[in-house]
Amino acid sequence: MDVFLQQLINGLTLGSIYGLIAIGYTMVFGIIGMVNFAHGDVFMVSSFVALILFLLLTTWLGLSSIALALLIVLVLTMVLTALWGWAIERVAYRPLRGSFRLAPLISAIGVSIFLSNFVQVTQGARNKPTPPMLNGGITLLDQGGYAVTLSYKQCLIMAVTAVLLLGFWYLVQRTSFGRAQRACEQDRRMAALLGIDVDRTISLTFVLGAALAAVAGVLYLLYYGVVSFSDGFVPGVKAFTAAVLGGIGSLPGAVLGGLIIGLIETFWSAYFSIEYKDVAAFSILAIVLIFMPSGILGRAEVEKV
């Protein structure tokens, strides 16, 4: 029971991070129908940005309050990563709108290869550890030597995720941007006829997706304390799995899918084998796409001839 509870906490933490990345996939797929293959690498870039900003603030500027430093890092990383998302859409995807269907996917694979190697060239191939921050936690249960702890990091990750999701939900459901975004998702041409700037809406979608990936990047760095240039691919695929599992195009679905994938991964590692945890994630991806392509909360796609 206590092992189960501990794994549940770990799984939910991991799942929050996947959920944040998955939103970027699901929004982009919803609005322009492409798999933004480079999203995982945007997440990795944001981790590096956060790492460097954190070092800058603490060692160069001598900021002693870790909490304040983290807050500044979070905001700045979101802004800088959003700029990456915007620039990528502008350079690599926008010229391809209306091109044949595979062009954006291949372009996205190119961006993904570019980003991971860009970081490798500029930052080196070795793993980058962070100084430990936010240690300690709350002991929930202590039975026979096995203590179930909820660390402050995990609290922070879940809290930040929950707050951001609420804010994000408000943005999509209640503001005029959100309305425009949902309209473009339904019918881009009709939305354009009704005076919505479609290009701007798509740009903003990428910006928002990248900003949420940046939050995930900061939290990932905080949680694992190490990042490397190749860390984008596997979390990216897992987050995509989460988006598909939840039903691609559905925002609550992305978060739900992220939590499920996080839980499956941690329980699989704890009870079966840690070597095959990525195999489990990839298998879920294949199984869901083959047998349940509309996901848990998604709409079934109707093909018109």
Partner 1 sequence: MQASRTGPSDGAASFPDILRDAGLYALVALGLCIPIVSFRTELSQNSALDLVPRWGLVAGLCAAVFVVRVLQRLVLARRDARKALTPSAHQATEAVHGEPNAGQRVSRLAVPVFVGFALGLPLIAVLATGGLSQSRYWIDLGILILTYVMLGWGLNIVVGLAGLLDLGYVAFYAVGAYAYALLSTTFGLSFWVCLPLAGLFAALWGMLLGFPVLRLRGDYLAIVTLAFGEIIRLVLINWVDLTGGAAGISSIPRATFFGIPFTAGDDGFAARFGLTFDSMHRNVFLYYLILALALLTNAVTLRLRRLPIGRAWEALREDEIACRSLGINTTTTKLTAFALGAMFGGFAGSFFAVRQGFISPESFNFLESAIILAIVVLGGMGSQVGVAVAAIAMVGGPEMLRNLGFLKAIFGEGFDPSEYRLLLFGLAMVAMMVWRPRGLISVRVPSVALKERRAIAGSLVREGHG
Q: Which stretch in 14-22, 85-93, 181-189, 214-222 sits in contact with partner 1 by CB under 8 A? A: 85-93
Q: From CA 282, how far away is CA 234, in angstroms rounded?
A: 10
CA distance 148 to 140: 6
- Residues 53-72, interacting with partner 1 (CB under 8 A): 53, 55-56, 59-60
CB 95 within 8 A of CB 104: no
CA–CA separation, 181 and 203 (whole Å): 10
Pick out residues in 235-274 that bind partner 1 (CB under 8 A): 237, 240, 244
**Given its phi and psi angles, is residue 41 left (phi above 0), alpha (psi -120 to 50 degrees) or beta?**
alpha
Closest by Cα among 217, 208, 229 to 89: 208
78 CB-near residues (< 8 Å, 6+ apart): 211, 214, 215
User: Of residues 63, 72, 75, 92, which one binds partner 1 by CB under 8 A?
Assistant: 92
Distance between start and end Cα atoms, the chain: 53
Question: Considering beta carbons, is residue 35 or 192 the nearer one to partner 1?
Answer: 35
List binders of partner 1 among 190-219 (CB under 8 A): 199
107 binds partner 1 (CB under 8 A): yes
Both structure tokens of 88: 């990528």
Strand, helix or coil at 138? strand
Shortest distance, position 92 Cβ to partner 1, whole Å: 5
The interface mask with partner 1, positions 17-56, x = CB under 8 A, is ----------------xxx---------x--xx-xxx-xx
Positions touching partner 1 (CB under 8 A) are 33-35, 45, 48-49, 51-53, 55-56, 59-60, 80, 83-84, 87, 90-92, 94-96, 99-107, 109-115, 117-119, 121-124, 126, 128-131, 199, 233, 237, 240, 244, 275-276, 278-279, 282-283, 285-286, 289-290, 293, 303, 305
